[in-house]
Structure 1
Amino acid sequence: MVTAAGFTPSAHDPVLFVHLSDRGRTLLLLYIDDMIIIGDDSEYIAFFKAHLSEQFLMSNLGPLRYFLGIEVSSTSDAFFISQEKYIQDLLARASLSDECTVETPMELNVHLRASDGDPLSNPTRYRHLVGSLVYLAVTRPDISYPVHILSQFVSAPTSVHYSHLLRVLRYLRGTISHRLFFPRSRSIQLQAYSDATWASDPSDRRSLSAYCVFLGSSLIAWKTKKHTAVYRSSAEAKL
Structure 2
Amino acid sequence: MVCCLRRSLYGLKQAPRAWFERFASVVTAASFSPSAYDPALFVHTSPRGRTLLLLYVDDMIITRDDSEYIAFVKARLRDQFLMTDLGPLRYFLGIDVSSTSDGFYISQEKYIQDLLARAALGDERTVETPMELNVKLQSTDGDPLPDPMRYRHLVGSLVYLAVTRPDISYLVHILSQFVSAPSTVHYSHLLRVFRYLRGTITHRLFFPRSSSLQLQCYSDATWASDPSDRRSFSAYCVFLGGSLIDWKTKKQTAVSHSSVEAELRDMALLTAEVT
TM-score (structure 2 length as normaliser)? 0.84
How big is the shift at 1:14? 3.0
How big is the shift at 1:219? 0.7
Match of 2:114 in 1: 89
Match of 1:51 in 2: 76
Runs (4+) of structure 1 exceeding 4 A deviation are none
Match of 1:3 in 2: 28
Q: Is contact 2:235-2:248 (8 Å) kept?
A: yes
Highest RCO, 1 vs 2 (Cα 8 Å, sep ≥ 6): 1
Q: Which amino acid aligns with 1:141?
A: P
**SS state at 1:214 partner:** strand
Match of 2:101 among 76, 79, 84: 76
**SS state at 1:13 partner:** coil
Match of 1:120 in 2: 145
How many equivalent residue pairs? 239
Match of 2:182 in 1: 157
| Residues 148-194 of structure 1 deviation map (CA, whole Å, 9 limit, x = unaligned) | 11111111111000000000000001111111111221411111111
**SS state at 1:2 partner:** helix
Match of 1:221 in 2: 246
Task: Return 5+ residue gaps in structure 1 as ranges.
Answer: none
Q: Distance in 2 between matches of 1:14 and 1:200?
A: 37
Q: Distance in 2 between matches of 1:186 and 1:169?
A: 33
- Residue 198 of structure 2 is aligned to residue 173 of structure 1: yes
> Could you say what the CA RMSD is over the residues aligned between the two structures, in angstroms?
1.1
Could you say if the C-alpha distance between residues 192 and 77 of structure 1 is closer, same or farther in structure 2, counting changes exceeding 3 Å? same
* Greater CA drift, 149-158 or 12-21: 12-21
- Residue 162 of structure 2 is aligned to residue 137 of structure 1: yes
Match of 1:107 in 2: 132
TM-score (structure 1 length as normaliser)? 0.97
Q: Is contact 2:211-2:242 (8 Å) kept?
A: no
| Residues 14-34 of structure 1 deviation map (CA, whole Å, 9 limit, x = unaligned) | 322211112111111101111
**SS state at 1:19 partner:** strand
Match of 1:185 among 210, 218, 223: 210
* Greater CA drift, 5-14 or 26-35: 5-14
